[in-house]
Amino acid sequence: MPQSKHRLVWFSEVQWDFLSTRKQRLLARFPGSWDILFIEPLTLGRKHHFVPVRRGRVLVVTIPFLKRVPFAFGRLLNIPAVRFLLGIPGVVVMLLWTMVLGFSGRNRIIGLSNIYWGPVAARLPARLHFYDANDDHLAFPGSPLWLAGYRAAWLRRAQLMFSVSSVLSEAIAPPPTVRVVPLGNGVEYERFAALHREVPLPLREAGGEVLGYLGAMDWLDVPLLVRLAERWSEHTIVLVGPAYEHGWWEGQRELRALPNVRYCGLVPYDEVPRWVQHFSLALMPMQRSPLKRASNPNKLYEYAAAGVPVLAMNYCEAVDRARTVVAVADTEEEFVRMVPEALADRREDGRREFARQHSWDALASAMVAELLLALQEEGE
């Protein structure tokens, strides 16, 4: 018997092609009976898809809409009438594309991780509305005060919320009408566990052991990295990944002045396992902020699948639970001091088994099952 078709519209806060995140990994694994429209934001200086493009089974389209705006202009968005007027073009474009692409009407599911769309998406008819809480979106630096009302508007409409951590669920405190489903982050295990013999050139040229970090730069504890590089000057600190903040690396004067620190920027996702596997020690020197305390880091599982030793600051519950397979520091002093101990960590089999328990395949299947269950509860 053929599976019934489902149409999903997802309002995302990140662009599909910019950084590999939870959304891409989950949606790419939905069954073939699902048609998916991924609405991404406009971000200056990056590639956009004003005409929809296909990424596997997912249609991706860029729609300019409200977002955090720095400088004095951003203060204008504190005026509700200004937000309403500036949002109109994006709403019109969104309605146009959903109609043209066959995603309009009530016979659809609406998922949201971009809370700037909250009040608009809450007014859209659908069989099911859900929130994917992958971060505390109100804790991002510069988030406007009015954004809390936008998330609340969405949660009043939503029936379901996926949450990556109990800390995040408690911080959001959704209405009792919203069923909360714990659903952490994960890894493409086979991709990261498969052996990659070719060493990236910057790692071949590095002196001493390679202490590597791969991920977004914006959440790094930069003063801690400076201390690490100064204490272990015989090793090379390699930073791989993008920064949401334009000119991030140019602004890191202390890091740039250190001869044993290399910034390699964004690398294609297909090449990420090759880099990680050739780290002598994979680092997680993250800020211990409210935003990061509520997180569930993909890189923890990617590092573990690659088998390499890991040294992490204890900044979230997922890291704390991983003490049996990775080196975890509770203070900055411990983090710097533990480098030799972490380099000698031989719990590779344990790390790989830990990573297997967090595969994206299993997580995507769990999300689909919960969505279908919610449809049944709504009277499908």
Residue appearing with tokens 């300019």: 64
Dist CA 316 CA 306 (whole Å): 21
Residue 1 in this model has a pLDDT that exceeds 50: no
Dist CA 53 CA 36 (whole Å): 12
Amino acid sitting at position 240? V
Give the mean pLDDT of the chain.
94
233: number of CA atoms within 13 Å, CB side? 5
Residue 98's pLDDT is 98
How many angstroms separate the first and last alpha carbons of the chain?
Answer: 18
Report pTM: 0.89
Dist CA 98 CA 2 (whole Å): 25
Residue 68's pLDDT is 65
Dist CA 41 CA 44 (whole Å): 10
- For 99-155, how does the pLDDT look when each residue is reduced to its tens digit (9 = 90+)? 999 999 999 999 999 999 999 999 999 999 999 999 999 998 888 999 999 999 999
Residue 69 in this model has a pLDDT that exceeds 90: no
| Total number of residues shown for the chain | 380
Would you list the DSSP string of 194-245?
S---PPPHHHHT--SSEEEEES-GGGB-HHHHHHHHHHTTTSEEEEES--SS
- 65, with CB counted inside 10 A (0-12, 13-18, 19+), is buried
Q: Do residues 282 and 351 lie in contact, with contact meaning Cβ atoms separated by under 8 Å?
A: no
Residue 111's beta-bridge partner residues?
10, 130
Instruction: Report CA-CA distances (Å) from 166 to 25, 296, 301.
Output: 22, 10, 18
Residue 327 in this model has a pLDDT that exceeds 90: yes
Amino acid sitting at position 121? A
Q: Of the given ranges (187-191, 242-246, 313-317), which has the lowest mean pLDDT?
A: 242-246
Residue 142's pLDDT is 83
pLDDT classification of 70: cutoffs 50, 70, 90: low
- For 158-173, how does the pLDDT look when each residue is reduced to its tens digit (9 = 90+)? 999 999 999 999 999 9
Q: How far out from the chain centre does Cα 161 lie? A: 16
Q: Which regions of 79-197 does DSSP assign to beta strands (E)?
A: 109-112, 128-133, 160-163, 179-182
- For 206-233, how does the pLDDT look when each residue is reduced to its tens digit (9 = 90+)? 878 999 999 999 999 999 999 999 999 9
Residue 158's pLDDT is 98
170 CB-near residues (< 8 Å, 6+ apart)? none
Residue 3 in this model has a pLDDT that exceeds 80: no
* H helix or E strand, kind and range, residue 87: helix 80-100
* Average confidence (pLDDT) over 293-297: 95
Domains along the chain? 6-186+359-377 (3.40.50.2000), 189-356 (3.40.50.2000)
Instruction: Report CA-CA distances (Å) from 162 to 111, 139, 313, 375.
Output: 10, 18, 25, 15
Q: How far out from the chain centre does Cα 243 lie? A: 13
Residue 237's beta-bridge partner residues?
211, 261
